[in-house]
Structure 1
Amino acid sequence: MAESDRRHNRSMSIAEVAATGGQGWRQVGDLSLAFALTSIIGLERQFRGKSAGLRTQSIVGTASALILLVGKYGFDDVLGRESVVLDPSRVAAQIVSGIGFLGAGLIITRRGAIRGLTTAASVWEAAAIGMAAGAGLPILALVVTGLHFVIVLAYTPLGRFVASRGHAERSYTVTYLDNRGVLRELLAACTAHAWRVQSMSIAGYSEPGEPGRDTAQATGTRMVTVTLTILGPGATDAAAVLGELDGVVQIDAGDTEDD
């Protein structure tokens, strides 16, 4: 009896799709669900000031749902012919690869720092949520939306806690006043905290007479900028330690993963 009911419901849904041409209220509801859920994720990104915020996330999720719906229902008018066979999953697969280009544009590498990884992943996630909503899988779309906030709210402090106690590798760009023995103190501080210097290179100099070099002009001393890559326990918190040294002007922390 249950099998006959399922067949009856399936035949009814097929008839409904055929009558509406895949543009009924059910499909509108799928699009609306994708729009609502990805807008929530976009609000979280916007609140944190990330590059892919409310507009980007909602557009990606809603467009992904639309593309999937086109793959499911957009070719019904040609499926009546015996020689025509279509695979709707091929359209969905192209969404996954296409979103990769958008995510790559959000990742920025500067001075050894990689920023935008989580934001790029969230765009990919928004596409998946939109695909799930468009495929008529609302429970899965809702679950993944909830897990997004578990990841960004709970895993962020957890990740920092683990990194501060693990043997992490981190790069820092340090600007300090020249001829004051600051570099020697930097290396001594690394040794005192059991941080091993993996690499060190001079990134540039700032002369007192150069325009736009306010700190060098005020002190009358040349500034040196070096890039340090250190490895050891608590290396993720090294900026606070090195920044307290006398003569250090600025530290740019090269986070390997940006929210």
Structure 2
Amino acid sequence: MHQVNSLGDFIRAHRVATTPEQVGLAGGGFRRTSGLRREEVAALAGLSKGYYARLEQGREKQPSNQVLDALIRVFQLDAEAAEHMYRLARKTCRRQDRGRGIDFESQACPDMVRMIDGWKVPAIIIGPRLDILAENTLCRTLFPQVPPESNVAEFMFLDPAARELYLDWEEMAQPYVAALRASADLDPSGYIMSLVEELYSRSPEFRRFWASYDVTMKMRPYKRYFHPEVGEIELESHHFLVNHTPGQRLITWKAEPDSPSQVALDFLQAKAAEK
């Protein structure tokens, strides 16, 4: 698997994912593939069919802002996906400056590690490759199935224990692939793509999620987990980007007050305090 036409792949994936009904077109009868035809996207965006084809094929490398804005409108991209598309276009225009890409930091900031260690809520810091860079004691107590200092994506797709931990596995897995895709597109060094290629070769589910070219980490607020001591526990997760370390993300969890899940979390907190 090679990633040589990121912008074209992004555009093609969103064309396939956009239905005629979404853009006000009739279904048009039989279609060999799902989504819109190239000529339909070109017409909706005010582009020639040949120019749009060159964009998808990677032969047109300098689309204007007006062209990008038109495609964002046609594909109805959210703000995060639109920003990602702009970054891909600018990266394509500046191949001579690509080098290692974004300078992703592979270690958590020591001050942040000390900060989450003192929190009474589960907290973890993951890197752009979804490596676990730091986690507090309550987080380790809450998710004992996850090996320390492991990689979230490898655990999610390659470890059978993930299907026991995440009771809504597919809803959990797809957003993490989106996060990995967003980071990989902006890092041509191979730092992230080496992991992607391993997962792509070993997991059919990963291949399916990767093909959707979603770069927005969308999760419903509450998710269900299974803990070997307290059973099912429903928690709300919050994701925060760490501004001074590109690609790193802080995640915390909390339970609904006065709920059975809060009782279970209180029990685990007391257990963690004993360690």
User: Which TM-score tier does this pair reach, normalised by the shorter chain?
Assistant: under 0.3
More helix by share: 1
More strand by share: 1
| TM-score normalised by the chain length of structure 1 | 0.28
| TM-score normalised by the chain length of structure 2 | 0.26
